[in-house]
Structure formats: C-alpha cells, structure tokens
Amino acid sequence: GKQWYQRRVRGGVSRMPVVGFGSWQCKPGVVGAAIEHALLNGYRHIDCAPAYENEEEVGEAFTRVFKSGKVSREEVFVTSKLWNTYHRAEDVPTACAKTLADLKLNYLDLFIIHWPVCMEPHTGQGLFPVDGNGETMMDSKSPSFAETWGALEKLVDEGKCKNIGLSNFNIKQIEEVLKVARVKPACLQVESH
C-alpha cells in the first residue's frame, strides 16, 4: 500500500507524507503550474509560507486541482508558517486566517512558527520592518514563545490547524515551548544543504 511514504506526526493527529513539494523561490506565474503538476503527479505534501509571497497563486492551483476531482483536499497535507511579525497572541489568528484565505482552504494540516524571531508588527513595511537607520525592528513587546504557542493551540482547538510545529528553533528554544505546550510540537522543520 501507500503507507510507506507516510509517518504519524509526533504529538499530532495526522499522517504526513515524508516527501513534500516546497513552494519557496517559485516565481509568480510559475508556482501555480508547478503545484498543479506536483499534485497531479503524486505529491501529497505541499509546503507553503506567507514569506514565500506566493500563497494566493498556490491557492488558485489547489482550487483547480480539487475541483477537477483528480485529487481531493483530504488527500493533501498542507503546511504553512507563521511569519515573524505575527508572534503576538492577538495577531496569530489574523495570520492564520490570511493564509487560509490565500490558500483557499478551511484548515491547515500543519502550521509552524517559521523562525524563533519576533519582528515589529503593524509597520506597513512588509516582511522585514526596519527603523530609520535601516536596522531590523524587533518586536517592542517581545512576545514569549509561550504566548505564541498558546495562540497556536487555540487554532488547533478551533479546527483551523490539525497540527502545529516549529521551524529553525534550537534545543533551548524547543525546551522552552515544551515546558508550556498542551499540544506538543508535531515537528521541527529545518533547512539543510
């Protein structure tokens, strides 16, 4: 059967395909066709992020494929990420709602904290807010991992995310989350070359 390519998500409720198709660095006008091709040729895990600046086009591809009936939403494991300017508890639901709207989905299979870095929100400067000296603006309220994680757990409770996880965290940072986690991190995603 097809079970060899799926593994139970640790601490989560889903089976995640071990090989996924990433949308990072996919150019506009190309990413949608790439996602569509990947899904129609057997990929069942799609990795997205608002920071990739292409989730709307990915969502359009999802809509085309799911409407075709060749692949159903339930067959596809979709991962997205919480960006650095949305770590405050009150901003986490907004970030998730935007991702769901852009991807044209009702839920995410996995929503992970993209980086253990909190940048100043609501500046209107996009992904990387900077001050008058050109320096990255770190969040003036410095939300803790516990605050952000608690807001992610509420998304699980509401059915917006089936699993939540981490990305690019070190051991000390992971331990900080584990101390307060009611819902354990389902994964640690890292980039490796």
**Packing angle of the helix pair 145-157, 171-180 (nearest 10 deg):** 50
Do 147 and 92 contact (CB within 8 A), yes or no?
A: no
Rounded Cα distance, 172 and 161, in Å: 25
Rounded Cα distance, 31 and 140, in Å: 35
Rounded Cα distance, 64 and 43, in Å: 15
Rounded Cα distance, 153 and 88, in Å: 13
Is 52 a known active-site residue? Answer: yes
Do 46 and 79 contact (CB within 8 A), yes or no?
A: yes
> Given 5, 43, 52, 86, which residue is catalytic?
52
Q: Any idea which residues carry the catalytic annotation? A: 52
